[in-house]
Chain A
Amino acid sequence: MAGRRNAAVESRIPLSVQPGFHVNSNKPAEDYLIPLSLTWTKTGALDPGPVIYPKPSMEKYEFSAKPLSVFTGNFAVIANFKIAPDAPAGPGAAVGRLHYQACNDRACFPPKTIEITVPYQVR
């Protein structure tokens, strides 16, 4: 990801869920479900903007009375930033935390958080 000062930039972050598993979307169907979320812990010379999540699929599982809002397979999250007006030229990296909780059709697995690093270059 590269741009000049004051430029709006975006990073497409590809994610992949193992076959047979799903993760709750960023807006689960039930309040008690843990949503997928991306938050930034360090953005360097970038001002973070909205994170855009894909359209979820509504899937029915044996353990749910109604369809759940989930992500499966390959999908991407789009992170938007604006390069700060006083950003020094050169490389940097934004670091974030992707929090998610996965299930298959019979069991659920403890929530996990993984670190996401987005390198950037200020021209």
Chain B
Amino acid sequence: MSHFRLTAAIAAAITAGVFLQGCSRSGSSVDAASAKAERERHQAPDFALKDADGRWVRLSDYRGKVVLLDFWATWCPPCKIEIPWFIDLERKDKDRGLAVLGVSMDDEGWDVVRPFLSQVGVNYPVVIGDDRTAESYGGIDALPTTFLIDRTGRIAAVHVGLASRKDFEDGVERLLQAPAPGSGDRASVPATTASTN
């Protein structure tokens, strides 16, 4: 039985277009952005996606809260570094007005996401993302990509790629301490005082 080797010339032809690319935006996409000034913030696109129980989750449901919106996937190791930080933030700051929301970009959906959430003990809502939602947030080329959204629903910071725990803690704290929408400079006045008059 004869055994032929492919010639180098033919190999070059086959490899045309076979250049494994990670991301069209390359390494420049993985800078952790600092918080934007209020006037530079844009409204976070609303979406409606289903959670593990089939309930619709809308970003607009969280208006009035600071939202940490995390696009991730089970096949993404750096995503798995950050998720325990988000679990801690949700536990620590939920009562102060923080809402963590995860958007899984796993093509296999709940079959792979549900066991992971259970294994890690995720304590915040997670939905399965779709192309339309990803496109509305600029394409989400890289994971993790995490948006910090202020209480008025505007994007205050974007972290593309693995960021530091401190970046998230500082960013969330800054947004939690910002005046509540419509309160002007009276951020320290509890909302309940309005009903005492």
A51 at the interface (CB under 8 A from B): no
Nearest chain B CB to A32 CB, angstrom units:
6
Tell me, in angstroms, the Cα distance from A112 to B76 when the chains sit together: 14
Tell me, in angstroms, the Cα distance from A115 to B76 when the chains sit together: 24
Contact with B along A19-54 (1 / 0, CB 8 A): 011010000001011100000000000000000000
Nearest chain B CB to A51 CB, angstrom units:
14
Are A103 and B3 in contact, CB atoms less than 8 angstroms apart? no
Q: Which partner residue on chain B sits nearest A68 by CB separation?
A: B77
Report chain B residues within 8 Å CB of A32.
74-75, 116
Report chain B residues within 8 Å CB of A118.
14
Report chain A residues within 8 Å CB of B77.
30, 33, 61, 63-64, 68, 103, 108
Report chain B residues within 8 Å CB of A109.
22-23, 141-143
Are A13 and B20 in contact, CB atoms less than 8 angstroms apart? no
A17 at the interface (CB under 8 A from B): yes
Are B22 and A104 in contact, CB atoms less than 8 angstroms apart? yes
Are B162 and A8 in contact, CB atoms less than 8 angstroms apart? no
Are B15 and A14 in contact, CB atoms less than 8 angstroms apart? yes
Q: Which partner residue on chain B sits nearest A114 by CB separation?
A: B18
Are B20 and A104 in contact, CB atoms less than 8 angstroms apart? no
Tell me, in angstroms, the Cα distance from A24 to B27 when the chains sit together: 18
Are A107 and B14 in contact, CB atoms less than 8 angstroms apart? no
B197 at the interface (CB under 8 A from A): no
How many chain A residues have a CB neighbour from B under 8 Å?
Answer: 48
Per DSSP, are chain A's interface residues mostly helix, strand or loop, or mixed? strand
Report chain A residues within 8 Å CB of B26.
18, 20
Nearest chain B CB to A55 CB, angstrom units:
18
Report chain B residues within 8 Å CB of A104.
22-23, 27, 30, 161
Tell me, in angstroms, the Cα distance from A3 to B141 when the chains sit together: 43
Nearest chain A CB to B162 CB, angstrom units:
5
Are A15 and B4 in contact, CB atoms less than 8 angstroms apart? no
Are A116 and B14 in contact, CB atoms less than 8 angstroms apart? yes
Binding site for B on A (CB under 8 A): 1-4, 6-18, 20-21, 23, 30, 32-34, 61-64, 68, 76, 98, 100-104, 106-112, 114, 116-119
Closest 10 CB pairs of A and B: A107-B161, A102-B22, A106-B161, A107-B142, A63-B78, A21-B22, A108-B76, A106-B30, A109-B22, A14-B15
Binding site for A on B (CB under 8 A): 1-6, 10-15, 17-23, 26-27, 29-30, 73-81, 105, 107, 116, 141-144, 160-162
A-B contact pairs, 24 of them (CB 8 A): A3-B2, A7-B1, A8-B1, A11-B14, A14-B18, A15-B19, A16-B15, A17-B20, A30-B77, A32-B116, A63-B77, A101-B75, A103-B22, A104-B27, A107-B143, A107-B144, A107-B162, A108-B75, A108-B143, A109-B143, A111-B75, A112-B20, A118-B14, A119-B13
